[in-house]
């Protein structure tokens, strides 16, 4: 069977490329796959055909150990990855096997490969497949998950192929930057990263901060947050506060500010000594007016669990910024007297940029080829499906209201169920899934809801989703990693029907939902249904979408004007462009902190690896009597304790610097008042605050040791056990654009001056 490559080589600046030149090599691999050659000899092959021989051995192992016979397209995709291209392959085309084939090839060439999956479940699943296929060939495999012990992590990272998540790699890098004993290092080697769901991870989630923290007690702040949460329930929308659903922001009116001042017994909420209260009040308002239970978060016995805005489901170890997290906990009457002290943080983008080589796979990488190329230098190559796509993508539908759209969804799902076809309904929130489930039940249509509240059962639910007349409602499908496999009867009845109940913010997400139907040449069809009152159509405040004029619609409320349907695509493109611009701006604000972090880590590693040198440096600043007293007090532990005092001091000062940077970043856009660049001012103040950082660490460490010697007490430098630190991802909320914050702040300042 011949391979179908890209017809033309496109310009590199577009971010796409062709694999046509690799097709002859792929055909050779396919032929060798059925030979009787010795696998060991093939893996050791070098020279011009060494690559072909190694890949053939890996393909034979997949066939022998897993019963998976790589298609020519999968072979081509693996070769493309090895040659440095990121791969666009449709859903159901076997990206998991492609990643293992490519990882095996790179491992046999001496590289160390991290296959980064969307979540722990998929990392564990894919690791099992990789182990079964690669272990017989002598290629060591490992896996690091949230519950992996420190010892097992260290062992895993010595393997040639490691399955994990980008979050887990980041947490291990940060933990290594906080250890007090070299024996606790796990050493993840950042050589090659193969990223699954490439565009989702590297574009949609790239700037989300990943945090290592420890808890501190603050019962006073909790009491204040509880009072503010209670006050919010008594305020009236429109009178005490206003909301902007597009920006996802809420603002107090003068009456609302007066209510806060009265409740908290402060004369002026804008006074310099009330900055903390102002921040807490705004967080309480956002929690009350913007965040919705079962849409943005769910409440569990152990506390608040966030729904990922990019995945549409609960993702473990995620939090909002600290003030907002505590405000939501107070809103839901959840006891959480502890605050978090951030010890270190990284972004996804910083992690992947640290690898020598980073590549990936996705079903929608071509749609994101330009930003992937502009931001990371990636070239995306499209690999066609093994069998021709026969799925029918129906024209998108637009309705006057969400209620009319949902009725159309129910009618269509019921009709397809009666025809014996499996149906997948895609929603964007848990609450919408629940509502549609109830409406379908009222209409006599049996349906199963797959969303953030029962994601642990998703594999079983999806396994049944390909049965005839089965209706499944899902909150987001991207990154679930499980294909909907049709039965023969379902194929005969026309295959899977995908119904999008609402349009996603970007064309890529719509394409990911459509891609669930028509896998591997199966029949199927898709239809996307939007509504004029969907949030998507409110992105551009200057756009009217025709709501102020007569709209041509049928009796069911379906809009007949094609220009309004085109407006949806326009809004998606506008929103995606804005999101990418915001991410790029956020990335610019991480550059100086990243430089400072690297300097701190270099100094820290020197102290960790050379405690004797660290002690001698400290002793240069201590008198002979103090040196003798410390030597007598600490004995053989002198070098270790002195080094740990330095490390502990450095960690605390870095934590304080991170807190300063966070506060600086939150208010930096007010610098526009003085016609200053927020980015330039942020970088200037960040550098000024960091100036003398290492000298201050040395001075404080010297003072601590001097004090210990004078009191004849061993310095307090506690060891951090594995449970002392915890890791999580900070979900940034849209509290309005920087310009919105600026204008709002100006108005507040003016009102404050008028009242003073």
User: What is d(CA 461, CA 450) in angstroms, rounded to the nearest whole number?
Assistant: 7
Q: Which one of 566, 598, 615 terminates a domain?
A: 566
Sheet holding 726-730, edge to edge: 318-319, 726-730, 209-217, 338-347
Cβ(486)–Cβ(466) below 8 Å:
yes
Together in a domain, 46 and 156: yes
Note whether residue 719 is domain-resident: no
User: What is d(CA 601, CA 617) in angstroms, rounded to the nearest whole number?
Assistant: 18
Together in a domain, 300 and 417: no
Residue 340 dihedral angles phi and psi, to the nearest 5°: -105, 140
Note whether residue 101 is domain-resident: yes
Note whether residue 601 is domain-resident: no
Note whether residue 730 is domain-resident: no
Closest by Cα among 572, 564, 575 to 531: 564
444: which residues sit within 8 A by CB, 6+ positions away? 414
Cβ(552)–Cβ(559) below 8 Å:
yes
Together in a domain, 288 and 190: no
Alpha carbon separation from 219 to 226, 339, 555 (Å, rounded): 11, 9, 58
Note whether residue 497 is domain-resident: yes
User: What is d(CA 699, CA 641) in angstroms, rounded to the nearest whole number?
Assistant: 16
Together in a domain, 170 and 299: no
Domain count, the chain: 4
How many Cα atoms occupy the beta-carbon half-sphere of 178 within 13 Å?
28
Together in a domain, 562 and 648: no
Note whether residue 572 is domain-resident: no
Together in a domain, 37 and 136: yes
Q: How many residues make up the chain in this entry?
A: 756
Together in a domain, 476 and 371: no
pLDDT at position 478 is 55
Together in a domain, 647 and 686: yes
pLDDT at position 257 is 92
User: What is d(CA 565, CA 547) in angstroms, rounded to the nearest whole number?
Assistant: 13
- In 200-296, DSSP assigns E strands to 209-217, 241-244, 249-252
User: What is d(CA 21, CA 2) in angstroms, rounded to the nearest whole number?
Assistant: 14
Closest by Cα among 306, 310, 300 to 324: 306
Q: In the structure, how many helices (H) and strands (E) does the chain have?
A: 28, 23
CA dihedral 636, 642, 648, 653 (to 10 degrees): 180
Quote the tokens at residue 85.
């291209």
User: What is d(CA 265, CA 244) in angstroms, rounded to the nearest whole number?
Assistant: 28
Closest by Cα among 213, 128, 116, 104 to 169: 116
Which residues define the annotated binding site?
74, 92-96, 483
| Successive 10-residue mean pLDDT values, the chain, 756 residues | 32 59 79 71 72 89 92 93 94 93 95 94 94 95 94 95 95 93 92 94 84 75 88 94 78 92 90 78 91 86 76 70 85 76 90 94 91 90 92 95 96 97 91 92 93 60 88 75 86 96 89 91 95 73 49 90 85 84 86 95 94 88 88 89 93 92 76 80 94 93 89 68 58 44 43 46
Together in a domain, 504 and 616: no
Cβ(263)–Cβ(227) below 8 Å:
yes
- In 161-314, DSSP assigns E strands to 161-164, 192-196, 209-217, 241-244, 249-252, 297-300, 303-306
Place of tokens 């947490």: 171
Cβ(435)–Cβ(460) below 8 Å:
no
199: which residues sit within 8 A by CB, 6+ positions away? 362, 364, 365, 367, 368, 372, 508
Cβ(13)–Cβ(363) below 8 Å:
no
User: What is d(CA 726, CA 146) in angstroms, rounded to the nearest whole number?
Assistant: 10
Together in a domain, 629 and 489: no
Note whether residue 583 is domain-resident: no
Q: How many CB atoms lie within 10 A of CB 587?
A: 17
Cβ(235)–Cβ(282) below 8 Å:
no
User: What is d(CA 445, CA 150) in angstroms, rounded to the nearest whole number?
Assistant: 49
Domain that holds residue 150: 12-206+351-382
187: domain CATH number is 3.40.50.300
Alpha carbon separation from 473 to 158, 292, 513, 600, 697 (Å, rounded): 42, 20, 12, 49, 55
Place of tokens 């009787």: 36
pLDDT at position 79 is 93
Quote the tokens at residue 228.
């503010």
Place of tokens 């030979």: 35
Together in a domain, 472 and 404: yes
Closest by Cα among 396, 415, 673, 447 to 559: 396
pLDDT at position 723 is 47
Question: Helix, strand or coil for residue 177?
Answer: coil
Please calculate the CA angle 545-550-555 and round it to the nearest 5 degrees: 100
661: domain CATH number is 1.10.3060.10
Which residues define the annotated binding site for ATP?
74, 92-96, 483
pLDDT at position 575 is 84
pLDDT at position 594 is 94
Q: Which one of 360, 382, 404 terminates a domain?
A: 382
User: What is d(CA 453, CA 446) in angstroms, rounded to the nearest whole number?
Assistant: 19
Sign of CA dihedral 713, 717, 719, 725: positive
Together in a domain, 195 and 264: no
User: What is d(CA 393, CA 123) in angstroms, rounded to the nearest whole number?
Assistant: 32
Closest by Cα among 571, 681, 109, 89 to 365: 89
User: What is d(CA 158, CA 169) in angstroms, rounded to the nearest whole number?
Assistant: 14
259: domain CATH number is 3.90.1440.10
pLDDT at position 389 is 92
Beta bridge partners of 216: 339
pLDDT at position 748 is 47
Which alpha helices (H) appear in 365-401, and where do they start and end? 369-376
Cβ(238)–Cβ(381) below 8 Å:
no
Note whether residue 591 is domain-resident: no
């Amino acid at each position: 069977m011949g391979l179908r490559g890209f017809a033309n080589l496109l310009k590199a600046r577009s971010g796409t490329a062709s694999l046509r030149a690799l097709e002859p090599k792929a055909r050779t691999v396919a032929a060798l796959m059925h030979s009787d050659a010795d696998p060991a000899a093939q893996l050791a092959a070098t020279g011009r055909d060494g690559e072909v021989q190694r890949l053939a051995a890996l393909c034979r192992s997949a066939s022998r150990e897993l019963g998976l016979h790589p298609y020519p397209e999968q072979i081509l995709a693996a070769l493309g990855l090895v040659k440095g291209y990121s791969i666009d392959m449709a859903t159901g085309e076997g990206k998991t096997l492609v990643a293992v084939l490519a990882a095996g090839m790179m491992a046999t060439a001496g590289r160390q490969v991290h296959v980064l999956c969307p979540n722990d479940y998929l990392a564990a699943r894919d690791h099992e497949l990789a182990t079964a296929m690669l272990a017989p060939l002598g290629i060591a495999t490992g896996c690091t998950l949230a519950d992996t012990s420190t010892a097992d992590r260290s062992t895993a990272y010595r393997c040639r192929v490691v399955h994990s998540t980008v979050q887990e790699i980041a947490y291990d890098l940060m933990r290594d930057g906080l250890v007090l004993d070299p024996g606790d290092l796990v050493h993840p080697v950042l050589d090659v990263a193969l990223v699954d769901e490439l565009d989702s991870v590297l574009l949609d989630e790239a700037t989300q901060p990943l945090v290592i923290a420890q808890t501190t007690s603050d019962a006073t702040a909790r009491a204040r947050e509880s009072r503010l949460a209670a006050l919010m329930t008594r305020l009236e929308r429109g009178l005490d506060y206003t909301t902007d659903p597009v920006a996802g922001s809420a603002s107090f009116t003068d009456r609302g500010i007066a209510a806060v001042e009265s409740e908290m017994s402060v004369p002026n909420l804008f006074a310099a000594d009330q900055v903390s209260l102002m921040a807490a009040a705004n967080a309480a308002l956002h929690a009350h007016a913007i965040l919705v239970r079962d849409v943005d978060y769910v409440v569990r016995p152990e506390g608040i669990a966030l729904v990922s805005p990019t995945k549409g489901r609960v993702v473990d170890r995620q939090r909002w910024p600290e003030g907002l997290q505590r405000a939501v906990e107070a809103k839901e009457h959840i006891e959480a007297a502890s605050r978090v002290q951030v010890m270190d943080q990284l972004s996804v983008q910083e992690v992947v940029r640290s690898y020598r080589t980073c590549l990936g796979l996705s079903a929608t990488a071509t749609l994101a080829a330009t930003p992937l190329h502009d931001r990371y230098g990636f070239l995306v190559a499209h690999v066609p499906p093994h069998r021709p796509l026969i799925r029918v993508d129906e024209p998108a539908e637009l309705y006057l209201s969400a209620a009319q759209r949902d009725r159309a969804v129910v009618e269509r799902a019921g009709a397809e169920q009666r025809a014996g076809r499996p149906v997948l309904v895609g929603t964007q929130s848990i609450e919408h899934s629940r509502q549609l489930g109830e409406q379908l039940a009222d209409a006599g249509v049996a349906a199963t809801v797959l969303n953030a509240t029962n994601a642990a059962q998703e594999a079983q639910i999806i396994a049944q989703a390909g049965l005839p007349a089965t209706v499944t409602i899902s909150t987001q499908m991207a990154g679930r990693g499980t294909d909907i496999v049709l039965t023969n009867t379902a194929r005969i009845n026309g295959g899977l029907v995908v119904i999008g109940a609402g349009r996603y913010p970007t064309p890529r997400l719509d394409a990911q939902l459509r891609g669930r139907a028509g896998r591997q040449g199966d029949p199927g069809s898709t239809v996307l249904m939007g509504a004029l009152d969907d949030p998507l159509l409110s992105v551009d405040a200057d756009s009217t979408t025709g709501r102020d004029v007569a709209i041509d619609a049928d009796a069911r409320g379906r809009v007949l004007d094609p220009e309004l349907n085109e407006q949806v695509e326009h809004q998606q493109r506008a929103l995606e462009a804005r999101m990418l611009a915001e991410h790029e701006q956020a990335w610019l604000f991480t550059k100086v902190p990243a430089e400072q972090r690297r300097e701190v880590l270099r100094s820290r590693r020197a102290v960790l690896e050379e405690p004797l040198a660290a002690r001698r440096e400290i002793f240069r600043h201590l008198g002979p009597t103090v040196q003798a007293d410390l030597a007598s007090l600490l004995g053989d532990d002198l070098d270790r304790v002195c080094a740990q005092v330095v490390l502990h001091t450095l960690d605390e000062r870095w934590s304080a610097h991170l807190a300063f940077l966070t506060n600086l970043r939150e208010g930096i856009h007010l610098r526009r008042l003085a016609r200053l660049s927020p980015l330039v001012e942020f970088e200037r103040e960040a550098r000024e605050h960091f100036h003398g950082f290492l000298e201050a660490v040395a001075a404080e460490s010297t003072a601590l040791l001097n004090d210990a010697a004078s009191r004849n007490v061993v310095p307090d430098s506690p060891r951090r056990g594995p449970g002392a630190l915890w890791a999580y991802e900070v979900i940034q909320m849209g509290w309005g654009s920087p310009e919105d914050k600026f204008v709002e702040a100006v108005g507040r300042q003016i009102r404050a001056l008028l009242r003073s």
